[in-house]
Amino acid sequence: MSDWFEVNLSGEAAASQWGNNALLSFQENGATVHASELRRVQQAGRRLRSQGIMAVQLGSSFADQELQWAFAEGFMSTLGGEQIRWAGESQELDARFKVARWVRDITNKGPEQKSPQVLASEAASFISAIGGDKVSYKMISGEALKDAGWTGLYNVGRGSIRPPVMLVLDYNPGGEDTPVSAALVGKGIVFDSGGYSLKASEGMLYMKADMGGAAMVTGGLALSILRGLDKRVRLILCCAENLVSGNAYKLGDILTYKNGTTVEVVNTDAEGRLVLADGLLVAGESGAPLIIDAATLTGAAMTAVGSHYNALFALDKDIAGQVNAIASAENEPAWPLPLEPFHQFECPSNYADTANSRPMKGGGTGGASNAAGFLSRFVRDNGKGWVHLDLAACFNNSENSLWAAGGTARGIRTIARSLTDLG
């Protein structure tokens, strides 16, 4: 008997012995999925993997690539090890699987396994293995960040004995003078205790995934390269641990950024926007006409759109519409939330140009838009060409009918296609 479990697709209802409206029916060493809608096919993949099946061969009835990928998203598990043979050779599906598996695995690692240095190094190694000699990078760490003026990342990370790291990676398939077409910025908080604005235990448990933005932009670049990206892209990861110690930053601190903006810290648990601000300034220095940042930034975004969508923000409504259309075309739903110039001023401070939040639980009403407004202070040209993704759909605390527990990699396709279509 073959070790490969064959799965086929049928638009017909299952025989009555399998129950009314049964999603699956079974044969010797195989099963049939009785569905044609992506969500239901993904549920079938999840159900079969949950039954301990490790290796599947998708039959020729899986002619549609998107149906194959929906099955794969459900079939991928938290710990990995599963194998899928597609219904015919597909470089695209191979690329998606390779990248999604990496994004899930790095997101699911425990915090002790991925210091800021490890996260930055693994991201650089992953891209280098795919991009070869087209890739170069540098890392700035610890006190060197302070000396260079990257105040947000330095201060958020200085409470840990494992220093913060900024990765600046360049993918350049052209000549030395090739302009940068796009810049990607990722929040890489490898563990978030909340700092002195300490999280409750149940809220802290899953904070190993607070580097989901860094994983997502790395995965997006990797997938785009595997798809044949011929444009120059800058990748900036802002990696740190937000911990409590005698050296940790404190409420009431005033941070002065390289663009002159002063920020009062009123919540040390609103750290993601502080590190992203530095990354956005680096992205602006590259001259890239397209800047995308991605972060597990606010609980407010999850409250607004749930865990099936990523929240999308932009002052540039044209670019917002284009990225939203790409997300829909790639079957990675996003939903635009409000962002206007006045959102810059929704976190006022008596002591600085702005506070990093409002001094209340969750940052108060409109928290996701206010966080995006804070970030908009650090992009050039009044936000032209800049998109902020608040990744509400990149991680699940527990298994559900569609996803294994942990990272989902939902967003890599949107970022990859944005680089090729818009950069």
pLDDT of residue 423: 76
Tell me what percent of the residues of the chain surpass a pLDDT of 90: 97
Q: How far apart are CA 116 and CA 119, in angstroms?
A: 5
Pairing of strands 83-85, 30-34: unpaired
pLDDT digits (tens, 9 = 90+) for 307-359: 999 999 999 999 999 999 999 999 999 999 999 999 999 999 999 999 999 99
pLDDT digits (tens, 9 = 90+) for 119-146: 999 999 999 999 999 999 999 999 999 9
What mean pLDDT is predicted for residues 187-194?
98
- Domains belonging to the chain, first-starting first, are 5-89 (no CATH), 109-422 (3.40.630.10)
Whether residue 401 is predicted with pLDDT greater than 90 in this model: the reply is: yes
Which structure tokens are listed for 57? 């061969």
Q: Band of the pLDDT at 360, cuts 50, 70, 90? A: confident
Tally of CB atoms within 10 A around 38: 17
With a cut of 50, say whether residue 113 has pLDDT above it: yes
Closest to 206 measured CA to CA, from 190, 219, 185? 190
Query: Residue 30: how many CB atoms within 10 A of its CB?
Result: 16
Taking residue 351's Cβ as centre, other Cβ atoms within 10 Å add up to 11
What is the mean predicted confidence (pLDDT) over 62-88?
Answer: 97
Question: Are the CB atoms for 192 and 157 separated by under 8 Å?
Answer: no
Q: How many CB atoms lie within 10 A of CB 35?
A: 22
From the CA atom positions of the chain, what is the Rg in Å? Answer: 22
Sign of CA dihedral 89, 95, 99, 104: negative
pLDDT band at 114; cut points 50, 70, 90: very high
pLDDT in tens, 197-238: 999 999 999 999 999 999 999 999 999 999 999 999 999 999
On the question of pLDDT at 1 being above 60, the answer is no
pLDDT at residue 105, as a whole number = 98
Residue 68 has pLDDT above 80, yes or no: yes
| Residue 92: pLDDT over 70 | yes
C-alpha–C-alpha distance, residues 88 and 267, integer Å: 52
Catalytic residues: 199, 273
DSSP string computed for 12-41: SPPPGGG-TT-SEEEETTEEEEE--SHHHH
Higher pLDDT, 29 or 2: 29
Instruction: Report residue 390's pLDDT band, with 50, 70 and 90 as the boundaries.
Output: very high
CA 68 to chain CA centroid, nearest Å: 22
Of the candidates 303, 309, 311, the residue with the CA atom closest to the CA atom of residue 332:
309
